[in-house]
Amino acid sequence: MAQKPSIPKGTRDFSPAEVNRRNYIFDTIKKHFQVFGFQPIETPSFENSETLMGKYGDEGDRLIFKILESGEYLEKAKAKAVFIDKRGLTYLNDLLRGIFQRIRKDLREECSENFTGDEKFTNMKKVSKYLKNNIWSILNQSPEIAYLSHLEELIGSYFRYSSIQIAIKIVNRSSFFENDTAFQNFRLVEQREIQEDLLDRLEEHFLLNATTPQITSLISEKALRYDLTVPFARYVVMHQNEIDFPFKRYQIQPVWRADRPQKGRFREFYQCDADVVGANSLLQEVELIQLYDAVFTDLKLDGVHIKLNNRKVLAGIAEIIGAKQLLVDFTVALDKLDKIGEEGVKKEMLEKGISEKSIAKAAPLFSLSGDTGEQLSILKALLKDSEQGLEGIEELEFIIDMVEQLGLQSAQLSLDFTLARGLNYYTGTIFEVSPPEGVKMGSIGGGGRYDDLTGIFGLKDVSGVGISFGLDRIYLVLEELNLFPKTLEQFIQVLCLNFGEKEALASLKLISTLRNSGIKADLYPTGAKIQKQFKYANNRNVPYVILLGDKELVENAFVVKNMANGEQKTFSIDSIEDFIASL
């Protein structure tokens, strides 16, 4: 049965036209990355899970795509599950010993050697009941059991389930109560049986009752990369001896996130990152702003807003409003100044628990105006008592001053103290790029400085600063503003029509010459009706169609039809360069 094909939600096929447009953006970004001295690296699509897990918070961990181990992973997982639980085995033995001691001691009095049939039956039930109760009380007495709660459950349920069988065995071997040797033997045999049985059940139990993350760790060791930053940090640490620091790297590769797919949010998408590691100088920030400017200018996307903030300034503001944990609420509210006005913002801040006094203190932030210099002065006065805040101001001043002196081609640089992007991640500068005014679209780029990029992998005190370009959004903006070059729609420049075998051979010779000159040329593959061939040329936006029929073959010539205006011109095959020159 033929399948009706589809692709997983959140993923995309890219048609030739789309690939061309995407590559236009990629190539532009790449060109400037290189011109700015960044070097490309590539990392594997999947990393060891432990490289990625725990780096993006709980929510991030959930959104990481895990790859199933290949081969007979279930067998391996069961073996591993047993191994995991084997740490409980010694403890289990101790428990069993205790249980049997109690059975012996307490039952001795109640059971005697000679039973009648009725007594046997009654005793059996008594023993069964006794086991249930006592095993629980023994288990409950043990403090270590807490750390092995699933083992506890397991042993409990095992005995609950098996107690009748044990009872029958005890009743049948009533000599068990007679003397210590018999008891000892019974204990050894039973203990081994029970232990083996329990081991099987440990395995089953683990597989059936383990949490999803526990099971995942048993059946998956690899995961698709979630971003390019963590793999980059891993790369830097692994290759630290081959790298000449400062290391300016760029990386353009897909990442995968198990996010709920929605408009503009995909499960597979590209990230385009440029980072510098091992350089503390703020000149890096200056360069990265120039880089944004260069790329967007080249893409003809004039007037993007490069917004700038600094984590230290945010820390200073937090000091002023007197509560670090209210900083996010504060900036979220402040960000609405344009929409809901000063009163609205203050109201929201009060609702969020920021005191009137704090709000009054931070009041100058509500009336930040003028150019970046004036804004910085206001903030400087406000943060005069915050050492960290003033340090942030100083950094911003340096960057802005340098950028002003160097000049930008088409982008606008502005301060945005509400910019709290990656608050827990960045430690200095924070960047964000918005599309030109009038385009309804979130940020098309962002980045910042982080003091300790590689510490998680054991390489301390390596500062990094980087920016990222949001390919999918840039694509949508260029599309909306009709900024993709028309040439991207042209896949072939010249199509030779196919008039039959002999003519096709002559055409292929012609085409070879054109292709050797780097011209995208093609032959219609079959001798289909000429109308159909022309239609194909139209559909594919071919600007020139070559006609080399039997007449032309005799004359050693070819006719070129300009598809835009219908003009036809005849060239001699020997002077094909004239045609090439005319393109």
Rule CB under 8 A: choose which of 142, 174, 191, 280 binds a second copy: 280
Q: Does 221 bind a second copy (CB under 8 A)?
A: yes
Rule CB under 8 A: choose which of 189, 192, 385, 491 binds a second copy: 491
Rule CB under 8 A: choose which of 45, 134, 174, 191 binds a second copy: 45
Q: Does 204 bind a second copy (CB under 8 A)?
A: yes
Largest distance between two CA atoms of the chain: 123
Q: Does 220 bind a second copy (CB under 8 A)?
A: yes
* DSSP β-ladder status, 494-496 and 464-469: unpaired
Q: Give the residue among 267, 208, 212, 2 at the shortest CA–CA distance from 85.
A: 208
The whole-angstrom distance between residue 173's C-alpha and the CA centroid of its chain comes to: 63
Residue closer to a second copy (CB basis): 47 or 395:
47
Rule CB under 8 A: choose which of 26, 540, 543, 580 binds a second copy: 540
Q: Is 298 left (phi over 0), alpha (psi -120 to 50) or beta?
A: alpha
Structure tokens at 219: 């059946």
Q: Does 275 bind a second copy (CB under 8 A)?
A: no
- Of 294-333, binders to a second copy (CB under 8 A) are 294
Enumerate long-range contacts of 561-570, CB under 8 Å, 24 or more apart. 563/537, 563/538
As a whole number of angstroms, the distance between CA 361 and CA 382 comes to 8
- Per CB under 8 A, the segment of 39-47, 349-357, 410-418, 434-442 that binds a second copy is 39-47
- Of 341-380, binders to a second copy (CB under 8 A) are none
Rule CB under 8 A: choose which of 258, 378, 423, 557 binds a second copy: 258
Q: Does 234 bind a second copy (CB under 8 A)?
A: yes
Q: Calculate Rg over the CA atoms of the chain.
A: 37
Question: Quick one: CA torsion of 326, 329, 330, 334, rounded to 10 degrees?
Answer: 180
Rule CB under 8 A: choose which of 189, 340, 363, 505 binds a second copy: 505
- Per CB under 8 A, the segment of 311-319, 324-332, 359-367, 519-527 that binds a second copy is 519-527
- Of 402-431, binders to a second copy (CB under 8 A) are 402, 405-407
Q: How far is the CB of 383 from a second copy (least distance, A)?
A: 24
Rule CB under 8 A: choose which of 263, 458, 564, 566 binds a second copy: 458
Q: Strand, coil or helix: what is 264?
A: coil
Residue closer to a second copy (CB basis): 117 or 566:
117
As a whole number of angstroms, the distance between CA 238 and CA 247 comes to 14
Q: Does 512 bind a second copy (CB under 8 A)?
A: yes
Structure tokens at 509: 């010779």
Q: How far is the CB of 3 from a second copy (least distance, A)?
A: 6
Q: Does 276 bind a second copy (CB under 8 A)?
A: yes
Residue closer to a second copy (CB basis): 483 or 519:
519
- Per CB under 8 A, the segment of 115-123, 129-137, 181-189, 481-489 that binds a second copy is 115-123
Residue closer to a second copy (CB basis): 478 or 504:
504
Q: How far is the CB of 249 from a second copy (least distance, A)?
A: 7
Rule CB under 8 A: choose which of 60, 98, 156, 254 binds a second copy: 254
Report DSSP state, residue 262.
B
Residue closer to a second copy (CB basis): 239 or 265:
239
Q: How far is the CB of 26 from a second copy (least distance, A)?
A: 11
Measured in degrees and rounded to the nearest 5, phi and psi for residue 137 equal -70, -35
Cβ-proximal residues to 320 (8 Å cutoff; 6+ apart), any chain: 358, 361, 362, 382, 383, 386, 389
Alpha-carbon distances, residue 104 vs 97, 155, 169, 281 (angstroms): 11, 19, 14, 77
- Per CB under 8 A, the segment of 104-112, 337-345, 428-436, 517-525 that binds a second copy is 517-525
Q: Does 574 bind a second copy (CB under 8 A)?
A: no
Rule CB under 8 A: choose which of 24, 56, 65, 571 binds a second copy: 65
Rule CB under 8 A: choose which of 99, 139, 286, 315 binds a second copy: 286
Measured in degrees and rounded to the nearest 5, phi and psi for residue 242 equal -95, -15
- Of 161-200, binders to a second copy (CB under 8 A) are 164-165, 168
Q: Environment class of residue 414 by beta-carbon count within 10 Å: exposed (0-12), middle (13-18) or buried (19+)?
A: middle
Residue closer to a second copy (CB basis): 89 or 258:
258
* DSSP β-ladder status, 464-469 and 544-547: unpaired
As a whole number of angstroms, the distance between CA 441 and CA 425 comes to 24
As a whole number of angstroms, the distance between CA 454 and CA 330 comes to 31
Q: How far is the CB of 458 from a second copy (least distance, A)?
A: 3
Residue closer to a second copy (CB basis): 24 or 417:
24
Q: Strand, coil or helix: what is 243?
A: coil
Structure tokens at 330: 């504060």
* DSSP β-ladder status, 268-277 and 464-469: antiparallel
As a whole number of angstroms, the distance between CA 121 and CA 124 comes to 5
Angle between helices 180-209 and 73-86 (to 10 degrees): 130
- Of 427-456, binders to a second copy (CB under 8 A) are 455-456
Residue closer to a second copy (CB basis): 317 or 506:
506
Q: Does 531 bind a second copy (CB under 8 A)?
A: no
Q: How far is the CB of 355 from a second copy (least distance, A)?
A: 41
Cβ-proximal residues to 186 (8 Å cutoff; 6+ apart), any chain: 173, 176
Q: How far is the CB of 477 from a second copy (least distance, A)?
A: 21
